[in-house]
Amino acid sequence: MIDRLKIGIVCYPTIGGSGIVATELGLLLAEAGHEVHFISYEQPVRLGAEHPNWFFHPVIVNEYALFKYPDYTLPLSVRISEVSEEFHLDILHVHYAVPHATAALLARLMQGEARKPALITTLHGTDTSLLGKDPHYRPIIKYSIENSSGVTTVSESLKEQTIATFGITAPIEVIPNFFEPRPPTRSRADIRAELGVADDEILLLHMSNLRPGKRVGDILQAVSLTKSRARLRLLILAGGDFQPYEAEVQRLRLEHQVLIKNNVREISDDLQACDLGIYASEEESFGLSILETLAYGRPVVATRVGGIPEVVQSDQTGLLVPVHDPQALAAAIDRLVDNPGLRQRLGDAARIDVATRFSAAQARDHYLRFYRRFLS
């Protein structure tokens, strides 16, 4: 058995659940002594200080008048093939079937009879929940999944949905996302003072890319419906453009309540400054932002959809409510605002639960065991 693995990781480099998990996993593997090669069009945002065990290989995407739209899949497949051959990779771990697993399969074809790395594909949700509904994408996603050496999903919910959507018969391994909280660099009081949040105010937190499925409008409406509205502030760590929601903020007269911070890379300071998290997704395969909030001992109010009930233990680490129901969100927020003891109890339990079920070491070792099944 190979003790020190050479692992290629293909992911999106931007602030988003899949890219963050892929990058953090790679860093964990590098710290454990394995050689890790990141392949993407930009260096992932979570790649910090240089380390002798990790390397970054950019994909160069050129635009040609012949193509109406720039192509990424083909340059990516070439880069994967080059890195695999030059560094003799044992494992190629791609995050998303399309375009990453598709490009990896092309790379394997280009390598001919040469030794090929085992291809591991992790599904994070979009392949199944969004692209899987499109008949123009469904066949290539199914092909890419079925021709991977091994496939993982981040929740049981996503596994079941993937099997139902594509009729997958090959085994799928569930390896949940993970999170290891970092010590804050500034005090809770400093952050709240900077935000203009008073000691007697309750600071709600929402983190997301602000896509329509995150139902940010429902969150704004819920805040406006709460009995405790005058005591509430809402901090949104936005991974996207908040402009589409500004009119709703004004309509609901929440200008004083809503605070926006864009593209925050280090979340520990803001997480410790908040009092609880609020998430209203209409579909969620896992909910990494929810996990991050719980890890800092903050209870969450979230919708009971997809993989969220696998992350939030209802009435133990947070409160789950029906989707598309701002009134239910508001009632749950009021319940936690009015009961500091409950808020503290759920938050303490949340911190322990994340450390017990979703630790970084557990995920790293689970992936390593999974990799080794496919090494010849």
Same domain for 12 and 153, yes or no, is yes
Nearest to 15 by CA among 44, 51, 35, 52: 44
Per-residue pLDDT at 144:
97
Q: For residue 1, is pLDDT > 60?
A: no
Distance in angstroms (rounded) separating the CA atoms of residues 102 and 104: 5
Q: For residue 63, is pLDDT > 90?
A: no
Per-residue pLDDT at 51:
87
Same domain for 129 and 18, yes or no, is yes
Section 192-200 average pLDDT: 97
In a domain, 290, yes or no: yes
Q: Regarding predicted confidence, which is higher, 240 or 281? A: 281
Same domain for 162 and 311, yes or no, is no
User: What are the Cα distances from residue 80, in Å, to 107, 137, 240?
Assistant: 6, 22, 29
In a domain, 334, yes or no: yes
Section 22-34 average pLDDT: 96
CB 177 within 8 A of CB 288: yes
Same domain for 278 and 343, yes or no, is yes
Section 73-85 average pLDDT: 97
Same domain for 244 and 109, yes or no, is no
User: What are the Cα distances from residue 125, in Å, to 8, 238, 305?
Assistant: 21, 20, 13
Arithmetic mean of pLDDT over the chain: 95
In a domain, 1, yes or no: no
Same domain for 129 and 174, yes or no, is yes
Section 271-276 average pLDDT: 97
Write the DSSP assignment of 40-94 as a string of letters.
ESS--TT--S--TTEEEEEPP----TT-SS---HHHHHHHHHHHHHHHT-SEEEE
Per-residue pLDDT at 272:
95
User: What are the Cα distances from residue 95, in Å, to 13, 51, 78, 104?
Assistant: 11, 22, 17, 11
Per-residue pLDDT at 339:
97
| Residue tagged 């004083």 (tokens) | 256
Same domain for 289 and 146, yes or no, is no
In a domain, 183, yes or no: no
pLDDT digits (tens, 9 = 90+) for 114-173: 789 999 999 999 899 889 889 999 999 999 999 999 999 999 999 999 999 999 999 999
Global pTM value:
0.93
Domain residue limits at 18: 6-178+359-372
Same domain for 242 and 226, yes or no, is yes
Number of structural domains the chain divides into: 2
User: What are the Cα distances from residue 126, in Å, to 112, 161, 248, 266, 284?
Assistant: 31, 11, 27, 25, 9
Per-residue pLDDT at 376:
65
In a domain, 73, yes or no: yes
In a domain, 345, yes or no: yes
Per-residue pLDDT at 263:
82
| Residue 200 belongs to domain with CATH number | 3.40.50.2000
In a domain, 225, yes or no: yes
Same domain for 227 and 351, yes or no, is yes
Distance in angstroms (rounded) separating the CA atoms of residues 168 and 255: 48
Confidence of residue 305 (pLDDT cuts 50, 70, 90): very high
Q: For residue 48, is pLDDT > 80?
A: no
- Helices and strands in the chain, H and E counts: 15, 13
Same domain for 12 and 156, yes or no, is yes
Same domain for 196 and 345, yes or no, is yes
Same domain for 70 and 201, yes or no, is no
